[in-house]
A and B are shown apart, each in its own frame.
Chain A
């Protein structure tokens, strides 16, 4: 305690006694009492070293007045001091009351502080427990996340595998679909062809019926003709009979005349001796008789020959008509045979196909089998669609799980951050607690000091009160923070519970998806086996007749030489048959003029010759058709090879000389007027002018190639190239 140095009074001249100062109390430090003391005994306790020299110097004897004055002053000072003491006492009382109050408040604050400390400790414990729990949960969630990540990675690989399988299945299904479509188209085409053939067969049957009716009508007509001929022949026979009867009558008359003449002759021979004239007459008559007889014989022979000829003619006519009919029906027969062979081949092919198709025993089963196959294909397609839908759903679910996983990861990260923050806050709280505890200790020491110094002054109470208030305010400030922390912990708990629920649901979903994936795998295997079966059943690719047609170029490579040879052979055979026909005709005419072919040998030979004629004529017709085909093939080949359509025809010049004219039209011609005409005569070919060749371009080329270079092939080749270029450019 600092003693305030009293203001030195003005020194009285006489002041022998040393001045003894009373210790300053309360607030009155202004005045200083000087008390006389005889012996200037130094009281070190009461003197201040600073005033000692002054007191010793002023150690003077004072008078009574001075003493009285000093006394009065002293008394005044005393009263003042007493007043001050009273004031101080009252103040002290007040202060003690205040101290008591402060003490009580301190106590309450202390209790509150202890309570707060306890709460802090509890909160700390709770925090620690929560922290531990949080750490555990975070670790658990980490582990679960890891497991989920692993499972999601596995699922992803499975998904990729499934996607690949799905793609493969889709591709195989698409190929199976294409094959099934192609097969359907083929089957449709086949069925259409079957129907067409049926229709064709029906039409042919109708035609055959018509033909048979026609032939029947023809035969009836022929019969009628034959009947008419028979009637006419009968009439002729009757006429001939009449003639014969006439001739017989004449012959009988002649015979009668002859007998009469013979009688006459005999009578004459008996009567007359000059027989010469009668002999001559007889001879004449005999000669005439003989002539008549020969004539009669000849007439008979002629008649028989005539009859035979008529018979032969009739037979010839019959044979001709039969031959014509047979020839008319021959090509049809060939066609029917060809069609029958084709149908038989198709039937055998169909039977083989039916045998190849399992579950099919007859034609009707094919449709059922096709419908069953179609249904199977449709079912498989549906299943494929379902599988695709499932796969897509799985993909969606996997995407969702991935998103959820990402969410949980982010939440776990957030929870981690929160946990870190909480830890930091807990640390901060710990630090604050330690600071608070330190402050508390300080407050304790301060309170103890205050207690110990309670009697001296009551000023420390206010500072302790301030400190206690500060502590209380800090505690109050921390309470909402603690509440916040508790709220955060509670929210974190809820989040963890929610995450746990989500993880559980995800686990369940994953299990269900795994089951679904397995079922899909099984379906995939089944579909693959079905697709393999279908593929093995269907075979390699074909075409659908609805969209596609197959064209084939006429392959003239192997045909050219063969065609030439066959043409030559046919031509030689034709020449031979023509010669044979001429010989037969001559033979016929000879046999007709002589009138000696009456016997059956001749009729048999005639029949043989007729047969030969028929066969030769058939062969001739066949050769003609084959030759016509070959010629058309040759003409087409020539057109393709040289680029010109060649038309050949025979004409006659005005002078009667026959000339072969060739008309050439290029396949690259822009219109039909672009034609070249050539005349071929005895090895010389000449170009004929027409409207096309008289154009400037063509006439130039004609001048150059034909007239100057004398090369028609060069001219035609050049024209071909020019027209080709013109056509391609256009």
Chain B
């Protein structure tokens, strides 16, 4: 972090992990708000990345996400995190309706040798802004979630990672059968590259089944 603040264009592993975990800290709330997992009134407006963002006021969700991001940041600094998936499921049936897939490509040379990279902060900000805008506009093509939903977060890590106390290994990756997939923009800090993809249950099959 110190190197990130000292010279804007030089990015270290820790700085990049901080940027990515900060991004995750905002993107979870954005998705929860846009997909109406929690009611609109439980969100407060703040400014982030030059855009108006909505953060939840629910302390439980806040603490859950802050603990989650703390662990993700740790894994990012170790270069052990491969993917993070936000799963939206039906509360009644437990069926997986959407999967927000954030795959992370880490520069192993930086992790092993501790070298730094150069990239403009403004450019990274611009890339993150594009992703946020795309998430906000995703409601135009994603199917409506009429029933009450809950969310869960899955972290895909290396097999040699020690499972923390509040985590557990899950054999169920909570996949969707025959999903529709939409690839969104990605952002790159030159150390961590985050690709975004949303897969959702194919609404047309339901309509065909109903017909």
Contacts and interface: CB of A to CB of B under 8 A. Distances in A.
Interface in A118-145: none
B36 interface: no
A551 B173 CA distance: 9
B64 A550 contact: no
Interface string B135-165: 0000000000000001011111111010101
A547 interface: yes
Contact of B67 (A545, A550, A552, A553): A553
A552 B169 CA distance: 6
A558 B181 contact: no
A551 B167 contact: yes
Interface string A539-583: 111110111111111111110100000000000000000000000
A543 B63 CA distance: 29
Nearest to A642: B63
B170 A551 contact: yes
A557 B61 contact: yes
Contact of A547 (B159, B173, B199): B159
Most B Cβ at <10 Å: residue of A548, A558, A667:
A548
B157 A548 contact: yes
Contacts of B167: 551-554
Contacts of B5: none
A630 B159 CA distance: 29
A556 B63 CA distance: 10
Given A547-B159, A558-B150, A636-B166, A553 B60 contact: no
Nearest to A561: B60
Contacts of A193: 171
Contacts of B159: 545-549
B165 A540 contact: no
Interface in A665-680: 667
Interface in A500-556: 539-543, 545-556
Contacts of A553: 64, 67-68, 71, 153, 155, 166-167
A218 B167 CA distance: 41
B165 to A, nearest CB: 7
Nearest to A636: B166
B175 A543 contact: no
Contact of B168 (A554, A557, A667): A554
A553 B167 CA distance: 4
Contact of A552 (B61, B83, B152, B179): B152
A2 interface: no
Contacts of A550: 154-156, 169-173
Contact of B158 (A541, A547, A558, A560): A547
Interface in B92-116: 101
Contacts of B124: none
A554 B163 CA distance: 12
Given A539-B178, A558-B150, A636-B165, A551 B157 contact: yes
Interface string A432-462: 0000000000000000000000000000000
B82 interface: yes
A563 to B, nearest CB: 13
B166 A554 contact: yes
B161 A557 contact: no
Given A636-B165, A641-B63, A551 B154 contact: yes
B69 to A, nearest CB: 11
A543 B67 contact: no
Contacts of A540: 175-176, 179, 181, 199
A640 B164 CA distance: 11
Nearest to B14: A728
Contacts of A639: 165-166
Most B Cβ at <10 Å: residue of A542, A636, A639, A640:
A640
A610 to B, nearest CB: 40
Contacts of B161: 549, 551
Contacts of A546: 159
Contacts of B169: 549-552
Interface string A628-666: 000000001001110000000000000000000000000
A641 B173 CA distance: 26
A639 B167 CA distance: 13
B154 A557 contact: no
B170 A548 contact: no
Contacts of B152: 552, 555
Most B Cβ at <10 Å: residue of A540, A556, A560, A639:
A540
Contacts of A667: 165
Contacts of A555: 64, 150, 152
A541 B156 CA distance: 13
A552 B154 contact: yes
Nearest to B153: A553
Interface string B62-77: 0110011001000000
Contacts of B83: 543, 548
Contacts of B68: 553
A698 B161 CA distance: 34
B170 A552 contact: yes
Nearest to B156: A548
A557 B67 CA distance: 13
A557 B64 CA distance: 8
Contacts of B163: 551
Nearest to B91: A558
Contacts of B153: 552-553
A322 B50 CA distance: 72
Nearest to B74: A728
Contacts of A539: 177-178
Interface string A688-707: 00000000000000000000
B80 to A, nearest CB: 10
Most A Cβ at <10 Å: residue of B68, B156, B163:
B156
Contacts of A547: 82, 158-159
Contacts of B177: 539
B168 A551 contact: yes
A541 B197 CA distance: 11
Contacts of B171: 193, 550
Nearest to B199: A540
A557 B170 CA distance: 18
A631 to B, nearest CB: 16
A291 B150 CA distance: 82
Contacts of B166: 553-554, 636, 639-640
Contact of B156 (A543, A640, A641): A543
A682 B168 CA distance: 37
B64 A552 contact: no
A541 B199 CA distance: 10
Given A539-B178, A540-B181, A548 B168 contact: no
B60 A557 contact: yes
B155 A543 contact: no
A193 B64 CA distance: 31
B166 to A, nearest CB: 5
B156 A549 contact: yes
A29 to B, nearest CB: 111
A493 B85 CA distance: 75
A539 B180 CA distance: 10
A554 B168 CA distance: 7
Given A551-B163, A552-B155, A639-B166, 10 more contacts: A543-B156, A546-B159, A549-B156, A550-B170, A550-B173, A551-B169, A552-B152, A552-B170, A553-B166, A640-B63
Interface of A: 193, 539-543, 545-558, 560, 636, 639-641, 667
27 contacts: A539-B178, A540-B176, A540-B179, A542-B173, A547-B158, A548-B83, A548-B156, A549-B156, A549-B158, A549-B159, A550-B155, A551-B167, A551-B169, A552-B153, A552-B154, A552-B155, A552-B168, A553-B155, A553-B166, A556-B60, A557-B61, A558-B150, A639-B166, A640-B67, A640-B165, A640-B166, A667-B165
8 tightest CB-CB pairs across the interface, nearest first?
A: A552-B170, A551-B167, A551-B155, A640-B166, A550-B170, A548-B156, A557-B60, A549-B159
